[in-house]
């Protein structure tokens, strides 16, 4: 991915960090010092795939630390720099599971619901600062979904952020598996719906 961006003339530094750990967030933010960040695409998805009561509290904490606290810390650091510069664009990627029940995803769904509400509130706070905040609600992707469809969803979110839209959702249809012998699962098909 970084090679593709460099071909387009972007200055890219690839870094691997643990966003569930405060030090990881600071290491990532440290890479931006001395550079102006015009665009922040904030996305993180840690899910455990087990029923909430069957997970250890430590594992649930990891989901919250990564999906919520890590992103909040990064948005806080970069957002202050954007505010000082008087401009910037943020895309905060959540998930449609924030408002749909999905089997074995209670902690994950809750973390994504928080991000949706946070993005709306932050957008309001930053009104008239030159910073826009777009909330992207990705649908749950099926393992058989072609990778180009995920790229389409990412493009849709980026385009919405570029024009300063408040919200964009990446789904048009859902299939619910309600067989009694399985946890309730929701399968989303990507599309272009607002």
Between 8 and 169, residue with greater pLDDT: 8
The domain segmentation of the chain, as residue ranges, is 38-189
Question: Which phi and psi (to 5°) does residue 93 adopt?
Answer: -90, 120
Least confident of 35-44, 59-68, 107-116, 180-189: 180-189
Query: Mean pLDDT of all residues in the chain?
Result: 75
User: Is 117 a residue whose pLDDT tops 80?
Assistant: yes
**Cα 63 to Cα 86: distance, rounded to the nearest angstrom:** 33
Question: Which phi and psi (to 5°) does residue 155 adopt?
Answer: -65, -40
For the chain, give percent helix, strand, coil, nearest 5.
45, 20, 40
92 strand-pairing partners:
42, 135
CATH of domain 38-189: 3.40.50.720
Which secondary-structure segment (H or E) carries 152?
Answer: helix 147-162
Q: What is the pLDDT of residues 27-61, one digit of tens each?
A: 999 988 888 899 888 887 777 777 889 889 999 99
| Region for 49 from its dihedrals, namely left if φ exceeds 0, alpha if ψ lies in -120 to 50, beta otherwise | left
Packing angle of the helix pair 22-30, 71-85 (nearest 10 deg): 30
**Cα 106 to Cα 183: distance, rounded to the nearest angstrom:** 12
User: Is 147 a residue whose pLDDT tops 60?
Assistant: no
For the segment 174-194, the average pLDDT, to the nearest whole number, is: 37
Between 189 and 78, residue with greater pLDDT: 78
Residue 185's pLDDT is 38
Q: Which of 1, 86, 3, 89 is nearest to 38 (CA)?
A: 89
Q: What angle do CA 63, 186, 154 make, to 5 degrees?
A: 65
| Region for 21 from its dihedrals, namely left if φ exceeds 0, alpha if ψ lies in -120 to 50, beta otherwise | beta
**Cα 41 to Cα 118: distance, rounded to the nearest angstrom:** 15
Q: With bands split at pLDDT 50, 70 and 90, how would you rate the model's confidence at 149?
A: low
**Cα 96 to Cα 116: distance, rounded to the nearest angstrom:** 9
136 strand-pairing partners:
93, 168
Predicted structure pTM score:
0.73
Q: With bands split at pLDDT 50, 70 and 90, how would you rate the model's confidence at 161?
A: confident
């Amino acid at each position: 991915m970084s090679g593709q961006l460099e071909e387009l003339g972007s200055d890219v530094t690839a870094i691997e960090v643990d966003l569930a750990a405060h030090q990881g967030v600071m290491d990532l933010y440290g890479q931006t010092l001395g550079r102006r960040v015009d665009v922040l695409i904030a996305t993180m998805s840690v899910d455990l795939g087990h029923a909430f009561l069957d997970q250890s509290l430590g594992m649930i904490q990891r989901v919250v630390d990564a999906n919520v606290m890590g992103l909040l810390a990064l948005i806080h650091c970069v957002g202050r720099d954007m505010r000082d510069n008087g401009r910037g664009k943020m895309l905060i990627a959540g998930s449609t599971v924030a408002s749909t029940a999905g089997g074995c995803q209670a902690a994950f769904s809750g973390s994504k619901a928080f991000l949706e509400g946070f993005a709306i509130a932050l957008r309001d706070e930053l009104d008239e600062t030159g910073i826009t905040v777009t909330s992207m609600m990705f649908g749950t992707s099926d393992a058989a979904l072609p990778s180009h469809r995920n790229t389409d969803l990412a493009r849709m979110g980026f385009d919405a952020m570029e024009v300063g839209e408040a919200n964009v959702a990446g789904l048009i249809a859902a299939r619910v598996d309600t067989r009694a012998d399985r946890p309730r699962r929701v399968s989303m098909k990507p599309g272009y719906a607002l």
